Amino acid sequence: MLVHICCSVDSHFFMEKLQQEYPDEKLVGFFYDPNIHPYSEYRLRLLDVERSCKKLGIELIEGPYDYENWMDAVRGLEKEPEKGSRCEVCFDKRFEVSAHKALELGETSMTTTLLVSPLKSQEQLKKSGDAFHSTHGVEFIAFDYRKNGGTNDQGRVSKEQQLYRQDYCGCIYGLTMQRDQQHRLMDEMFSPISRQILPASIEERLELYTRRMEFEEQSVAYRIIKERFLNYRLLRSSLKVGLEIIPSYPLFYSTINRTQAQGNIDFEIDGQFFLNREEVRLITIETFNALTSSAYQNTKELMFNAPLIETEIALRARLSGSAFNTSAIIVVDEIPTAKISLVLETKTYEDTREKLFVFYDRNRL
């Protein structure tokens, strides 16, 4: 039987149940989810599915990430709510490709782990599956593993296996509406030109779950824990001296009262040049290099190849003498003598992030 897989949280429990109830059935997992966006999130979910299938001893096939074709398929349905017409088209798209894959492999039946998701309509899924049975000859089997406490069991399994538990279905349209309803910043879509891995970003989680697989291969005991922290995103920034915009780089956690500040350099203390308005200070790239043991040629190079966030936070604490300072600290090539116009739009907010905790004493597990 071909099993279309959407994510490990649904698939691990679902396929465990299939293995228990149909021990003689050969299961082939098929990860085909071009709806997932951005691509880093797709890679993260695939990574965890690969781990899950390996644990269960199930063969896994990755389908094409034909995202543009998926976008064309749902065009005009962008504002449809969850479980609406866009979801039906999305199911049809994924089931059609899954049915062709089943025929290619010589399978006569298929199912999907979407059936166990509490966010999906089983009626919609069965309707789409039955339609492809009549047109493609591949029987769609709608297993209902939600009933009789199945949803609670699924939650227990996902915690025990420390599976990646995403908090949105996958598509950009569903994510946009969900974040709007939650009044939350859609920080999943931030991709800085600095190429930094931002705190609590998809890229940070991808690194974390990759490391945990390496730990498992090395038999290193670990736990994934959550912590609360103050997160930060830079929306836009520019520094103008007179009429000329010059290369500038705000350190992580740089904020101002409004989105714009103007003034002249008023005084200097230990290589920090303070503006006479707002809580803004400038340092040169030379100072940045000296205090971080870096070797940037200029600020533009820093802008496109920034150091670790932790390096910037450590520098901020050293310059300000406080771990709680959020004043704007801007790196430039040279300290300007003319009037400065700073644009700095940011978002600071409470957030949670996942961390890996390694047990050096296995008896503590």
CA gap 292, 75 in Å, rounded: 48
Of 239, 243, 246, 1, residue with least CA distance to 101: 1
Residue 354 vs residues 9, 225, 350: alpha-carbon distances, Å: 16, 6, 14
Per-residue pLDDT of the chain (365 residues; tens, 9 = 90+): 999 999 999 999 999 999 999 999 999 999 999 999 999 999 999 999 999 999 999 999 999 999 999 999 999 999 999 888 999 899 889 988 998 999 999 998 999 998 888 767 778 888 877 777 777 788 888 888 888 888 899 999 999 999 999 989 899 999 999 999 999 999 999 989 999 999 999 999 999 999 999 999 999 999 999 999 999 999 999 999 999 999 999 999 999 999 999 999 999 999 999 999 889 999 999 999 999 999 999 999 999 999 999 999 999 999 999 989 999 999 999 999 999 999 999 999 999 999 999 987 655 54
Of 132, 115, 111, residue with least CA distance to 124: 115
Strand partners, 329: 281
First to last CA, the chain: 37
Considering Cα of 309, then 315, then 316, then 321, what sign does the dihedral take? positive
Contact predicate 117/143, CB 8 Å: no
Q: Which domains does the chain have, with CATH numbers?
A: 2-184 (3.40.50.620), 230-352 (no CATH)
SS (H, E, C) 95-130: HHHHHHHHHHHCCCEEEEHHHHCCCCCHHHHHHHHH
Token pair recorded at residue 208: 């974390």
pLDDT value, residue 365 = 47
CA gap 289, 286 in Å, rounded: 5
CA gap 339, 347 in Å, rounded: 26
Q: Where are the alpha helices (DSSP H) in 218-353?
A: 285-292, 299-304, 309-320
What stretch of H or E contains 86? Answer: helix 85-105
Q: At what angle do helices 39-56 and 8-21 cross, to 10 degrees?
A: 20
Q: pTM for this structure?
A: 0.91
DSSP state of 147: T
